[in-house]
Structure 1
């Protein structure tokens, strides 16, 4: 964390050096957890106390078996419902057995539980909600991502974890959300080790489909190592994780919101590895799409943290660029 503090300090001193911002959105253009074109109308409607668009959106992800989007939209809708609950309460009152409402209800309960010092007990109380969500649509893997998170927070045994994991992959063997939950359970901060966590992540990535977010799973393992306790991991293993995620990121268009969280995660890992130019490249690909994760792991102000570290990366790249190098070459064409 000393590296992050030093970057922020330097960035604050030189924040208004304009030539360092070439090719990147201005600070006031960067959005935190910006919704995509499908989710945005549902959130606008929810803000007007109308749940119909949200219900339609989640029903479509269920019918299309679009599990990654279903997972993301569920988390975002639950986050909105935490602060603006009326629309969601009306949804539950009107459609108490709607599988999509049940899924958001379970997500919301777990999110609230994790914020409490007594999270283990609150998570145990939420178990029936996860079961109801799983029964609401038996093919859906997202309730099993919730179940894996629940197992981690309630100190479930490895045998319980293994059984839940099997249920998850039986439904969607390449679901990124379930894999990230498994990585957390297997991390040294919880019930595994860095070696076990990396082994799991690398094996999953080796079998992943082209373009699958699971190729970023070793970078998630790297994040768990860089932000947690445990024995040292060889530098080459960390670099290999970053390189695999860089290759994944390159397959998506710049400014695409779909891989935004993966790109933010990768940027954090690259900063910690002091791979400044690679980090700057990812910042160009992120564009205006900052995400709370992973910056909320190190700050109560994730957007501010993102912007300050972005400045720090610019400065590190500038400091490593020979004075005779033209600005355009220094920006590597961005």
Structure 2
């Protein structure tokens, strides 16, 4: 019987896997961390050493209060400045007190420190940069997200972290980036527990507006739990809670267009969780919604080659879905079901 089941499973894979590629871009068309249409030309200019378009884009996010875009752009620009420094050095020389420059400078220093064995020591020296960024615009929550990351890296006690958190939510109660930073601090990998992480995520998701990325916080908590290196106890997070987190993120994902860059990271996180839960048809749906927009996170948690891991997982999901389809008919056949 086991041999027969294996034979049938293989036959199903052979029959259906090809047809399940519909809606998935070719491997060569998949992009890793692709910038949106506004940031992309600014990055191209920065690549030639010109910081002007970057400065304009960030100034617009600050003046318009586009805090989520601002946070994303700052992190992307800091990562870019790690490898291409000419434009950033030119910007510092021409406008050393620009509030947007100060914010990128603080983010760059924090992100560099996190990759160093001397993290705590380096982060202590970054404090003045974060203060300068926060003083440059008192209403901007993004420097406080940087401060929350800084506090996590310096082993700040809960009381200190909560003080920073209160400053962040005063400026933007539903800022996704600040909530993600708080979720990381409360995770079992840092200074909290899986239970604390889930409780925080579920409260924030419950209070969030429709369509808010905060609805995806529970699935990020699920990811932290499912990919932890620590052994799970019998009193860990129940499967029903993990599935509920995934279902909430699926609902959020469906509210956005296919191949939309804005929810790309959320969809990548959700796909990773769905595969860990072996919810293969749901994972395939998310892969189609992701389109060409792969993101480094969460695949860098499990592999040194995030894009390669993403593409490999697409193949795995198609095979698993194909293996559950009946031999006769296919995905579009009336009455077809997943076993």
The normalised TM-score by structure 2 is 0.91
The residue that corresponds to 1:7 in the other structure is none
In the TM superposition, what is the alpha-carbon distance from 1:22 to its structure 2 partner?
Answer: 2.2
Counterpart check, 1:290 vs 2:294: yes
- SS of equivalent residue, structure 1 residue 81: helix
The residue that corresponds to 2:311 in the other structure is 307
Larger radius of gyration: 2
The residue that corresponds to 2:28 in the other structure is 28
The residue that corresponds to 1:320 in the other structure is 324
CA distance in 1, matches of 2:331, 2:285: 15
The residue that corresponds to 1:247 in the other structure is 251
Counterpart check, 1:86 vs 2:75: no
CA distance in 2, matches of 1:18, 1:319: 12
Contact 2:325–2:331, Cα closer than 8 Å, also in 1: no
The residue that corresponds to 2:215 in the other structure is 215
Aligned runs of 1:66-215 on 2, under 5 Å? 66-215=66-215
CA distance in 2, matches of 1:125, 1:297: 28
In the TM superposition, what is the alpha-carbon distance from 1:18 to its structure 2 partner?
Answer: 3.9
Per-residue Cα deviation, 1:73-131 (whole angstroms, up to 9, x for no partner): 11111111111000011001110000000111111111111111221211111111111
CA distance in 1, matches of 2:106, 2:185: 19
Per-residue Cα deviation, 1:195-225 (whole angstroms, up to 9, x for no partner): 1110100000000011110000001111111
In the TM superposition, what is the alpha-carbon distance from 1:329 to its structure 2 partner?
Answer: 4.3
Name stretches of at least 5 consecutive residues in structure 2 with no aligned partner.
1-9
Name stretches of at least 5 consecutive residues in structure 1 with no aligned partner.
1-9
The residue that corresponds to 2:4 in the other structure is none
Per-residue Cα deviation, 1:263-321 (whole angstroms, up to 9, x for no partner): 00000010101100000000000000000010111111100010001110110000111
Q: Select between 194-203 and 124-133 the one with higher mean Cα deviation.
A: 124-133
In the TM superposition, what is the alpha-carbon distance from 1:327 to its structure 2 partner?
Answer: 4.1
> Alignment partner for residue 267 of structure 2, among 248, 263, 266?
263
The residue that corresponds to 1:4 in the other structure is none
Aligned runs of 1:29-44 on 2, under 5 Å? 29-44=29-44
In the TM superposition, what is the alpha-carbon distance from 1:32 to its structure 2 partner?
Answer: 0.3
Per-residue Cα deviation, 1:104-160 (whole angstroms, up to 9, x for no partner): 111111111111122121111111111111111111111111111111110000000
Aligned-pair Cα RMSD in Å:
1.6
CA distance in 2, matches of 1:235, 1:132: 45
Contact 2:67–2:142, Cα closer than 8 Å, also in 1: yes
- SS of equivalent residue, structure 1 residue 25: coil
- SS of equivalent residue, structure 2 residue 332: helix
Counterpart check, 1:64 vs 2:64: yes
The residue that corresponds to 1:235 in the other structure is 239
CA distance in 1, matches of 2:108, 2:153: 15
In the TM superposition, what is the alpha-carbon distance from 1:227 to its structure 2 partner?
Answer: 1.9
In the TM superposition, what is the alpha-carbon distance from 1:21 to its structure 2 partner?
Answer: 2.0
CA distance in 1, matches of 2:150, 2:226: 24
CA distance in 2, matches of 1:105, 1:298: 29
The normalised TM-score by structure 1 is 0.92
